[in-house]
Chain A
Amino acid sequence: MVEKPFSPHDPNNKVNGTTAFIEDIAFPNQLVGGIKRSPHPHAKIISIDTSKAKEVQGVVTVLTADDLPTYPFGPTKFKDWNFLASDRVLFIGDEVAAVSGETKECVQQALELITIEYEILPAVYHPQEALSSTTILHQSANNNRPMHLQIERGDFENAKKQADVVRKGTYVINPIYQGHLEPIAAIAKWSKNDGMTLWAGSHIPYRARETYAAAFGLDEDQFRIIVPPIGGSFGSKYVLKMHLLVSALSKASSRPVKIVFDRKEDMITAHPRVPLNMEVEIGSTNEGTFVYKDVVVYADAGARIYWSPNIVATACTRPDGVYHFGSVRAEGHLCYTNNSPTTCMRGFGNAEMLFGVESVIDDLAEALAMDPTELRKRNIVKKGQTTIHGYQLDSCQLEQCIEKVKELSGWARRGHLPENHGIGIALGNHVSGFSAIDPRFDGSTAIVTLKPNGNITVQTGEIDLGQGLSQTYANIAASVLGIPSEMIEIQSGDTALHPFGVGTLASRGTVMGGNAVQFAAEEMKQQILKLVHEEWNGIGVFEAGEILIDGKRLSFADVADLYRTKRPGEVMVIKKTYTPNTELPDKTYYGHPSPNYPFAAHVAEVKVDTETGRVQVVGYWAVHDSGKILNFTGAKSQVIGAVAQGIGWVLMEELIVRNGQVLNPSLMDYRMPGAGDMPQIDVAFIEEPDPHGPQGAKSVGEIALDPVPGAIANAIANAIKKRGYSLPLNPQAIWGLIREQDDTNRRELS
């Protein structure tokens, strides 16, 4: 076997520290960039004086809005972005000016010497207040509501009358930080001949390219994005204003410019998980059949639209793919506020709403005196069914997941646990790609090349985030071609070199990109058989990494030689595109948006210290239906990592924002889980192959987080007989809950 070229995604190289992240890359003549930000949540800009900043020795460029294009643009259909604020700033951290210079110190000094005169304007911070406020952020939304979603399916009013028991609550998702260990960073390099090249950690680089090219008024092929390994994103690094500003600074000086955020700037401007206020109501018959679900969601978009509309739509619909609720109604209000724009984080609205739904279902089980797992099993979706919003379930092992997680966790212990211990269950579902991300195309393309040395390269437009995507694709191609995965090199992350890809979001990597790799590898196999047939007129057989024909054993290198002989000078290159059989959801959000749907059942066990309010997760069991598992090590690590993130989200983390100001922008004051916060976690997969996944696979990345908040919240309620409605359920919240006397609004559990 021939030695493979260096791959920065190879985990061995990550361990050795030889994988270069953006901060480890430098170009000759490179400048440092910095951004001047608004200290006010809402203010009119009276004047900007950059004269002193420009005089600082070493400063090369100082940009304000006057120096930059003003085409309307944005990553979604809401084109409310700008390069820099011209007349008003809309949040603390809003970008007003950008500076490049020879050193970090001179840039810092110049940023401080930019004088901006503001006239303070009234600000609005809460979605419900924004709806009726006279403070308007964008003229395009005169009630601060860029999106108002209303869905009703079935005879809702009649369904409500069928309910014998109703439980409801208002559940609150506070802002949290994605917590990527690598701070946000980018390098841009402009030249008149080559246009812009941007090194950035975007895992949707083609959408980023389209957005940024539009902002500059450039053709897409004049804007190249190279994605070095990404040091964690979880949704924070899709598209960012800083990518544009570093590009603008490079264009102004025709020199490479690098910006690396420090942790504080990163936490103030990285854009947290969309905060939601969710009114959730579910009705059931006395027999435990759900008859309706009604939700009203108020979502805080912050001052500009990143991906919040998609998150609202997901929150309002996705959990209806776990249970048959009978009739459903949902109303979503997405509101502009003077907070930093909010965006996606793993779970994407579904994990958030499932926190509310799974809590209410446990309340219903209590009211009906049923075991929570029994009530769930009576209402879950099953294989072969179509859900109320049109998801076609050609595989579903949710019931088996419930049975398995009960067995593993020792669910029968519920009711016999030591004092202040509790155990809780929650279910979840997700998609494996989502057609509405890009209505033009939601599939994926792979290019497979047989190299002269017999090794294979696979090029994809999807991005390795460290989730194991490269290994999964290598495993797929290896199993098709019957060779070790070590012979396969995965290449991605350069919009100029690799095929178009929608990107790594909506848990689409395994199924979308994997199918394309599978198709291309299968086609290569056919082409190899055709080639050897031409030469020897027999039928070749793939065996142990070789092709047997006419009494000969050919290696892949022999085949590459033969190809070069028969197709003079050529290399075998196969390009294949996977176009899924999905439907774009219609205006009412009805459709079949994903090739398949993963499911999971999680159980958490907690111990509550009633003196301090501290909750300790003492056991965790996660059983998943992600179809066939193609990369077991990667899949298991995804699940454990997601549970860790969920433990942080539910018990510890809150980006505390008061009057638009982040009060805890440091990892000291924003504590994320450490090794000592982790319980033992048992992970199991029920591996029913799905007909649409590559080799039967479905997604893993986000489904792994979706049930976690519900499972832990239900375990806490089981332990202390009180329910928490607002995340995080930190010691302060739990201490208060335990001591809450007047529980008029929040029904005490028996």
Chain B
Amino acid sequence: MKHADTTSFFLNDLEVHWFGNPVRPLVDLIRNEYELKGTKIGCETGECGACTVLVDGKPMVSCLVPTAAVHRSSVTTVEGLITKKNFIALRQAMVQHGAVQCGFCTPGIMMTLYAYMQNYEILNGNLDFALKNNLCRCTGYLGIKSALQQVLVEKEGSHSHG
């Protein structure tokens, strides 16, 4: 930490220091200071999930998170996941299962699915519960759930085959 009032955190594995308003919504900072536009704004009241990011691996709606709350935490946006193996597998399955239509909710949904893949216990092992903070108006969710299930099965398979 450089200054008592500075918020320092890791954003997609890079350490950043924010000297401005500590209660500025994290989504605003991510999009407008760090120009990471993959995190979308759908409601600004924590109901739609389009702005979901990972804070220490856990999905959170970044419109309701004041920047100071992620001090010393690790924040991951969709841009930080694009090259990850699990993300790529999920992306392919999402496209294959028709789980992407307009695409506005999709990056947020990917954050939740990715977190679920990494550690489903923090989401009670219940995908409907995990997705309760992500609205999708186009696809009816079933393709999203099938995509995740397929990737989980493939992952299990690859483990059992060493």
Contact = CB atoms under 8 A, between A and B. Distances in A.
Contact of B103 (A466, A667, A676): A466
Interface stretch (B68-76, B133-141, B149-157): B133-141
Interface string A606-643: 00000000000000000000000000011011001111
Interface stretch (B3-11, B15-23, B94-102): B94-102
Most chain A beta carbons < 10 A, residue from B42, B79, B96, B134: B42
A14 B103 contact: yes
Given A11-B103, A16-B38, A675 B98 contact: no
Contacts of A20: 37
Given A181-B48, A668-B47, A674 B132 contact: yes
Contacts of A467: 101
A637 B82 CA distance: 24
Contact residues on A (Cβ < 8 Å of other chain), bracket: 35 or more
Given A16-B78, A466-B103, A644-B141, A263 B131 contact: no
Given A181-B42, A668-B45, A676 B128 contact: yes
Contact-residue bracket for chain B = 35 or more
B95 A675 contact: no
B139 A17 contact: no
Given A466-B103, A675-B131, A21 B40 contact: yes
Interface string A643-680: 11100000000000000000000111000111110101
Contacts of A634: 98
A12 B91 contact: yes
Interface string B79-110: 10010000000110011111111111111001
A180 interface: yes
Contact of A19 (B79, B96, B103): B103
Interface in A295-350: none
Contacts of B95: 11-12, 15
Given A230-B102, A466-B138, A640-B139, A675 B39 contact: no
Nearest to B78: A17
Interface string A476-500: 0000000000000000000000000
Contacts of B39: 17
B102 A640 contact: no
B55 to A, nearest CB: 17
Given A263-B43, A641-B101, A675-B131, A17 B79 contact: yes
A637 B45 CA distance: 28
Residue with the greatest number of chain B CB neighbours at <10 A, chosen from A24, A231, A642, A643: A231
Most buried by B among A20, A179, A642, A675: A675
B107 A232 contact: no
A740 to B, nearest CB: 32
B104 A675 contact: no
A14 B110 CA distance: 10
Nearest to A641: B140
Contacts of B143: 637, 640
B117 interface: no
A637 B103 CA distance: 13
B115 interface: no
Interface string A452-470: 0000000000000111100
A125 interface: no
A17 B82 CA distance: 9
A87 interface: no
B123 to A, nearest CB: 12
A24 B103 CA distance: 13
Nearest to A14: B103
A641 B139 contact: yes
Nearest to B94: A15
A41 interface: no
Given A20-B37, A23-B41, A640-B143, A15 B110 contact: yes
A509 interface: no
B34 interface: no
B84 to A, nearest CB: 12
Interface string B27-70: 00000000001111111110110100000000000000000000
B37 A179 contact: no
B42 A182 contact: yes
A232 B104 contact: yes
B74 to A, nearest CB: 19
A18 B38 contact: yes
Chain B: interface secondary structure? loop
Contacts of A672: 135, 137
Contacts of A673: 140-141
Nearest to A234: B137
A697 B10 CA distance: 51
B39 to A, nearest CB: 7
B140 A11 contact: no
Given A466-B103, A675-B145, A180 B91 contact: no
B26 interface: no
B37 A181 contact: no
A263 B45 contact: yes
Given A17-B78, A674-B132, A468 B42 contact: no
Interface string A204-236: 000000000000000000000000011110100
A95 B87 CA distance: 45
A16 B142 contact: no
Given A181-B137, A634-B98, A676 B91 contact: no
B94 A667 contact: no
Contacts of A262: 44
Interface in A164-187: 179-183
A468 B101 contact: yes
Contacts of A179: 137
Contacts of B38: 16-18
Contacts of A666: 43, 45, 47
B130 to A, nearest CB: 8
Contact of B94 (A11, A23, A468, A645): A11
A608 B101 CA distance: 32
A681 interface: yes
Contact of A667 (B48, B82, B127, B136): B48
Contacts of A11: 94-95, 100, 103
A633 B107 CA distance: 20
Contacts of B37: 17, 20, 24
Contact of B137 (A13, A24, A229, A232): A232
A642 B98 CA distance: 13
Contacts of B82: 16
A313 B162 CA distance: 64
Nearest to B36: A17
Among B90, B106, B145, max chain A CB count under 10 A is at: B106
B21 to A, nearest CB: 12
B102 A678 contact: no
Contacts of B42: 181-183, 263, 667
A666 B43 CA distance: 8
Given A263-B44, A668-B47, A678-B141, A15 B102 contact: no
9 contacts: A14-B103, A180-B102, A466-B101, A633-B97, A668-B47, A674-B135, A675-B145, A676-B131, A678-B142
Given A15-B106, A182-B42, 17 more contacts: A14-B100, A181-B42, A181-B135, A231-B40, A231-B102, A232-B137, A263-B43, A465-B101, A634-B98, A640-B142, A645-B137, A666-B47, A667-B47, A672-B135, A675-B134, A676-B129, A678-B140
Shortest 5 CB-CB contacts between residues of A and residues of B: A17-B38, A14-B103, A231-B104, A637-B98, A644-B140
